[in-house]
């Protein structure tokens, strides 16, 4: 029963978030159409049968039976509709006006992403403290590309491809989008820079590339101690600094994870520093399925993730939001390019199941920040994806308008019909593929991962 309630709560959260973003998108089309005098026949919240509504100014404002998203129906917007020459029809308006109407929807989604991030940066935004730090290696996991290339603790990554002095965020993104693709690095050690070639290893259900190195941390200070897990039962607390485990120094929480892979359920003698005093604990790990991978792993229920908090004035928050959204937009385009080139797996794309899981997880976290962040990310993705030059999408409408401007005439109706039919089939196949990948990632037993 609790699992069913969790699933229903996730579906509700996803419906609200996606519905809000789609309404914002459609309002952009609606406002632009009204401004230019295009007759809007319907502005609907939801789909399916009309429940309630009212008519004003020739528009039926309505709430439909399925309150997930919405749509705007403009008179004569479908090329296959019969044209009467009425000046209120979409196709009766100049191309530049139709261009703005088509562009208005994605623009509203991108603007929403900018507004949400600006608000978050002005109020309270937490992020991993090492994310924007110089890329100094604090730990190297065994049997990973980094270890095989001879990377050591204390090495500084001063170059990745054409990016000089990258921070950890830039490194992680570069690796994630380059699974099984060689990358050129400059590694500084003892004042000398070595050229290294490393190939990220695809890991996890999304097949993101990973090098196996970790950022340098000033200490392994616990930021999470899970109730009911061995560490909590032994008396360990948030703020404890782990010094040694079975007499071995722990420079990074990844070293503890690696140790657990070998010791399994054997009791561990853990020494921590608390309020300047050393304390000793005996902790017996348990096999737990809530680890990062699909298989159960031995855990004691602790995490060390130092966080930074950003609280900026409006001007700085807006500038940072614009910068982050610009960077994210280019990353989306880079991912799409590499998918077309078959350099990354389709599994890196989340469909409705993956998006719903992310929204549900964000909604269950404390505070509004996680939900606002995931909403901003989805809204930006929705805006960028709608600008792709695929007929049916807004970007396809813009592309056809651009071609017609070059030709100085309308594309013939039979050709438009074929274009829209082909685009519809493509989008249906793409949707089926994305949903299948979602099922594969959610239900690993459906098929074996490579």
pLDDT, tens digit (0-9, with 9 covering 90-100), for 368-397 = 888 999 999 999 999 999 999 888 789 998
Tell me the three state secondary structure of residue 47.
strand
CA 269 to mean position of chain CA atoms: 39
Q: Is the pLDDT of residue 294 over 80?
A: no
- What percent of the chain clears pLDDT 90, i.e. is strictly above it? 51
Q: Is the pLDDT of residue 31 over 80?
A: yes
Interhelix angle 369-386/95-123, nearest 10 degrees: 160
Predicted local confidence at residue 161, as pLDDT: 93
Confidence of residue 181 (pLDDT cuts 50, 70, 90): very high
Strands (E), 57-155: 59-74, 125-128, 137-140
Tell me the three state secondary structure of residue 282.
strand
pLDDT tens string 13-22: 777 788 788 8
From 118, 87, 167, select the one nearest 325 (Cα to Cα). Answer: 118
Predicted local confidence at residue 182, as pLDDT: 95
Predicted local confidence at residue 290, as pLDDT: 67
pLDDT tens string 436-448: 777 776 665 444 3
Q: Residue 277 contacts by C-beta under 8 Å, 6 or more apart in sequence?
A: none
Q: Are 254 and 242 in contact (CB under 8 A)?
A: no
From 118, 124, 114, 23, select the one nearest 71 (Cα to Cα). Answer: 23
Distance CA 221, CA 210 (A): 24
Distance CA 23, CA 447 (A): 37
Q: Are 270 and 281 in contact (CB under 8 A)?
A: yes
Q: Is the pLDDT of residue 399 over 70?
A: yes
* Structural element, H or E, at residue 123: helix 95-123
What is the set of domains in the chain, with CATH numbers? Answer: 87-129+312-450 (no CATH), 137-215 (2.30.42.10), 224-305 (2.30.42.10)
Q: Are 371 and 362 in contact (CB under 8 A)?
A: yes
Average confidence (pLDDT) over 296-300? 90
Predicted local confidence at residue 80, as pLDDT: 65
Residue 237, number of CB atoms within 10 A of its CB: 13
Predicted local confidence at residue 69, as pLDDT: 63
Q: Residue 288 contacts by C-beta under 8 Å, 6 or more apart in sequence?
A: 229, 296, 297, 298, 299, 301
Strands (E), 284-434: 286-288, 297-299, 302-303, 307-310
* Residue 136 DSSP class: B
Strand order through the sheet with 277-283: 248-249, 241-245, 268-274, 277-283
Q: Are 185 and 160 in contact (CB under 8 A)?
A: yes
Distance CA 163, CA 170 (A): 9
Q: Is the pLDDT of residue 289 over 90?
A: no
Strands (E), 234-311: 241-245, 248-249, 268-274, 277-283, 286-288, 297-299, 302-303, 307-310
**Region of residue 408 (left: phi > 0; alpha: psi -120 to 50; beta: else):** left
Q: What are the helix (H) ranges across 130-223?
A: 145-148, 168-176
Q: Are 64 and 49 in contact (CB under 8 A)?
A: yes
pLDDT tens string 218-261: 889 999 999 999 999 999 999 999 999 999 999 999 999 989 98
Pairing of strands 208-210, 201-203: antiparallel
Does residue 83 or residue 187 have the better pLDDT?
187
Q: Is the pLDDT of residue 357 over 50?
A: yes
Does residue 164 or residue 359 have the better pLDDT?
164
Does residue 91 or residue 140 have the better pLDDT?
140
């Amino acid at each position: 029963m609790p699992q069913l309630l969790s699933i229903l709560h996730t579906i509700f959260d996803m419906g609200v978030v996606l519905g809000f973003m789609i309404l914002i998108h459609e309002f952009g089309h609606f406002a632009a159409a009204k401004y230019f005098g295009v007759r809007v026949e319907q502005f609907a919240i939801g789909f399916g049968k009309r429940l309630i509504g009212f008519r004003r100014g020739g528009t039926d404002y309505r709430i439909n039976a399925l309150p997930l998203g919405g749509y705007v129906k403009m008179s004569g917007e479908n090329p296959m509709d019969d044209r009467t020459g009425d000046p209120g029809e979409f196709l009766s308006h100049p191309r530049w006006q139709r261009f703005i109407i088509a562009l208005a929807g994605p623009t509203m989604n991108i603007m929403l992403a900018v507004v949400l991030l600006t608000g978050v940066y002005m109020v309270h935004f937490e992020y991993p403290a090492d994310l924007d730090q110089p890329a100094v290696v604090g730990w190297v996991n065994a049997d990973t590309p980094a270890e095989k290339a001879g990377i050591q603790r204390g090495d500084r990554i001063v170059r990745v491809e054409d990016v000089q002095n990258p921070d950890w965020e830039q490194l992680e993104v570069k690796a994630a989008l380059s699974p099984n693709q060689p990358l050129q690095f400059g590694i500084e050690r003892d004042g000398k820079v070595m050229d290294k070639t490393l190939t990220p290893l695809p890991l996890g259900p999304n097949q993101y590339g990973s090098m196996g190195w970790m950022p340098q941390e000033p200490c392994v200070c616990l930021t999470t101690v899970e109730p009911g897990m061995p560490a909590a039962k032994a008396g360990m607390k948030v703020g404890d600094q782990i010094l040694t485990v079975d007499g071995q120094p722990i420079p990074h929480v990844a070293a503890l994870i690696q140790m657990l892979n070998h010791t399994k359920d054997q009791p561990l003698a853990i020494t921590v520093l608390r309020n300047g005093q050393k304390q000793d604990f005996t902790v017996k790990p348990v096999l737990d399925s809530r680890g990062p991978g699909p298989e159960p792993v031995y855990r004691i229920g602790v995490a060390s993730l130092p966080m930074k908090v950003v609280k900026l004035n409006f001007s700085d928050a807006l500038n940072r939001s614009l910068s982050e959204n610009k960077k994210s937009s280019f990353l989306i385009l880079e991912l799409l390019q590499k998918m077309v080139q078959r350099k990354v797996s389709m599994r890196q794309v989340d469909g409705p199941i993956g998006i719903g899981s992310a929204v549900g997880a964000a909604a269950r976290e404390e505070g509004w920040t996680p939900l606002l962040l995931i909403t901003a990310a989805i809204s930006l993705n929705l805006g960028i994806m709608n600008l792709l030059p695929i007929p049916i999408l807004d970007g396809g409408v813009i592309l056809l308008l651009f071609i017609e401007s070059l030709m100085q005439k309308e594309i013939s109706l039979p050709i438009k019909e074929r274009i829209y039919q082909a685009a519809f089939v493509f989008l249906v196949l793409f949707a089926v593929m994305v949903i299948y990948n979602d099922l594969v990632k959610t239900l690993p037993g459906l098929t074996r991962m490579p």
